[in-house]
Structure 1
Amino acid sequence: MTGQAGEGSGRSIQSVFRSLKILEYVAGQRSPAGLTEISKGIGIHKSTAHGLIATMEKCGFMQQDPSTGKYSLGIKVFEMGQAYISNLDLRELALPYLKELSLTYQETAHLAILSAEEVVYIDKVDGSRSIGIRSQVGGRNPAHCTGVGKVLLSGLDERQIKKMYLDKTLRKYTRNTVSDLSGLLRQICQVRKQGYAIDLEEFELDLRCIAAPIKDSTGAVLAAVSISGPSNRLLDAKMSDTASHVIETAMKISIRLGYKQ
């Protein structure tokens, strides 16, 4: 059967189209939905909706609560989502967004993950105005005084952070470097509140960085994205707007990873 108007161009199988719309509708609800609600929600007859749902239920894509008769997504949807996420290459997925961020500011964009008390840069895109920044793909820098590092640490709880830095000294790289754990914890608390981290010449003089968290489908901080440049270009007056752009970039990548706002 050919698709109806509004169901996209080309030929489509109406029952498949409607089944997918049911899945999409149920996924968008905060609680299980009843048959009448679903049929009205996507604009099809109740009997048609029942037949499609029954078929999806047999295949594990829908499940019914026997006490209420309402429907929610089945385990197969979760399994397929996990399979999609597991096949994603974070670097490959994030690269277009890093390029866009770098192009916008003509500065260096980084993608980093946490390894103990250090960050590992897994990708880097230099802008046309980039200066010699002490980072390279596969390279490491301390987490406590870098923007990406503080963002990644914000994904841990206080107990985990204290354990990580137990019997370790916070090396002071510049006059701005935080060198005590209580100070670092205060900074990380602020990062969680505002949704981004700033490195104001804390690792290297005349170098600033703004970073935001990339989250996975569970909401856990998986990686960090940042823009870095000299202090005379990443100015205080523009910091808020730049931070908003970095946060937006991180969110776009997070959504591609299955994260829901």
Structure 2
Amino acid sequence: MASDKGKPPEEWTQRRIQSIEVGFQVIRAMEAANGPLPLRDIAAAAGMPPSKAHLYLVSFVKEGVAFQDPATGHYGLGRFAIQLGLSAIRQLDVVEFAREELAALQRATGFATYLSLWGDRGPGIVSKVDGERQGSLAVRLGYVLPLLNSATGQVFLSYLDESETAGVRQDEIAAARRDASEEAATLAPRITTAKDIERIVETVRRQGYAMTINSINSSFAAMAAPVFDYSSRIVATITVLGSDKQLAGPRKKTALDALMTATHRLSERLGAPGRGQKGEESETPPAAPKPTRAKSTAGR
């Protein structure tokens, strides 16, 4: 291999190792799955013959990037992949800085608090502090929230560039339209039109926060606000989650004030220009959801 000595840095960036790029097609196929997959499915998703995918998987299993279930023979991401992801999260300043804000917010409100970052499939929870009266609701690290029907998602919907949310937005609208004729209970009105989205975005931007009640889980409410960086770009959201009777009732103002203070302080630490700290009640909030039974008590 020729030496890079004497070459300008811009030439170094153009040199690549093709086998690594091909191998990442296999990793991405496993990352996009909801669980371990058979070899044929991984190969198809990676766009290569099963024999070729198998060679990469053998190496990934040896290094801990992947594992193979001895009972089914299916492959999934291994311990090292998990450690790598957690290490990347730890290196993000916003996650480190947010820890004390989440703890302070939980102490001030008694509710569960969590930080979410935007990913390829929507907003994912990366840090949390459990509430004092959390009940049966579990907030799980790594959980990807809906874009349109969660307070967290609606904040990203309102402040991210449309091009970044387009794919997730279209998938959720399509799913809502497919289900529209079914009698299966849903906890909130389906969001299926551009007007629905415009109403959400206008309300969230005016208020500076989003709130959903019984949207994903019956008897729970969530309130979320954005965190901005030095370029005034949204980099995260902080969310408060608790009983709808409390968070959407007598303790709403206390929780909202504490939430807006936390996101404002965190934004300042990330170098965000001064922003007016909103949090006023909206005169025309999004349509009230229709509470029905929840299919699951998974974390929002």
Give the TM bin, normalised by the shorter chain. 0.5 to 0.7
Q: What residue number does 1:220 align with?
A: 233
1:89 to 62, 68, 93: 93
Instruction: Label 1:94 to 1:210 Cα distance change in 2 as closer, same or farther (>3 A).
Output: same
Q: For the residues of structure 1 that align with 2:227 and 2:93, how far apart are their CA atoms?
A: 14
Q: For the residues of structure 1 that align with 2:104 and 2:156, how far apart are their CA atoms?
A: 22
Indicate if the aligned counterparts of 1:170 and 1:178 stay in contact, CA closer than 8 A.
no
Indicate if the aligned counterparts of 1:210 and 1:226 stay in contact, CA closer than 8 A.
yes
Question: Secondary structure of 2:104's match?
Answer: helix
2:257 to 234, 244, 257: 244
2:225 partner amino acid: A
Q: Deviations over 1:6-55 (max 9, x none)?
A: xxxxxxxxxxxxxxxxxxxxxxxxxxxxxxxxxxxxxxxxxxxxxxxxxx
Instruction: Label 1:145 to 1:170 Cα distance change in 2 as closer, same or farther (>3 A).
Output: farther
2:220 to 203, 207, 211: 207
Alpha-carbon offset, residue 235 of structure 1: 3.0
2:199 to 186, 201, 211: 186
Q: What residue number does 1:103 align with?
A: 107
Indicate if the aligned counterparts of 1:215 and 1:259 stay in contact, CA closer than 8 A.
yes
Alpha-carbon offset, residue 159 of structure 1: 5.9
Alignment of 1:16-55 (within 5 A): none
2:188 to 176, 195, 211: 176
Q: Deviations over 1:98-132 (max 9, x none)?
A: 00111112110010012245210000101222223
Instruction: Label 1:166 to 1:197 Cα distance change in 2 as closer, same or farther (>3 A).
Output: same
Indicate if the aligned counterparts of 1:215 and 1:254 stay in contact, CA closer than 8 A.
yes
Q: Deviations over 1:50-71 (max 9, x none)?
A: xxxxxxxxxxxxxxxxxxxxxx
Indicate if the aligned counterparts of 2:106 and 2:129 stay in contact, CA closer than 8 A.
yes
Instruction: Label 1:195 to 1:246 Cα distance change in 2 as closer, same or farther (>3 A).
Output: same
Instruction: Label 1:167 to 1:213 Cα distance change in 2 as closer, same or farther (>3 A).
Output: closer
Question: Secondary structure of 1:205's match?
Answer: coil
CA-based RMSD of the aligned residues comes to: 2.4
Higher relative contact order (CA 8 A, sep 6+): 2
2:140 to 128, 136, 142: 136
Indicate if the aligned counterparts of 1:178 and 1:184 stay in contact, CA closer than 8 A.
no
Deviates more, 1:126-135 or 1:147-156: 126-135
1:102 partner amino acid: Q
- Any stretches of 5+ residues in structure 2 without a counterpart? 1-90, 180-184, 275-300
2:93 partner amino acid: D
Instruction: Label 1:166 to 1:239 Cα distance change in 2 as closer, same or farther (>3 A).
Output: same
Q: What residue number does 2:208 align with?
A: 195
Q: What residue number does 1:153 align with?
A: 157
Indicate if the aligned counterparts of 2:108 and 2:258 stay in contact, CA closer than 8 A.
no
Q: What residue number does 2:295 align with?
A: none
Q: Deviations over 1:58-90 (max 9, x none)?
A: xxxxxxxxxxxxxxxxxxxxxxxxxxxxx7622
Q: For the residues of structure 2 that align with 1:133 and 1:230, how far apart are their CA atoms?
A: 10
Q: Percent identity?
A: 23
Instruction: Label 1:181 to 1:158 Cα distance change in 2 as closer, same or farther (>3 A).
Output: farther
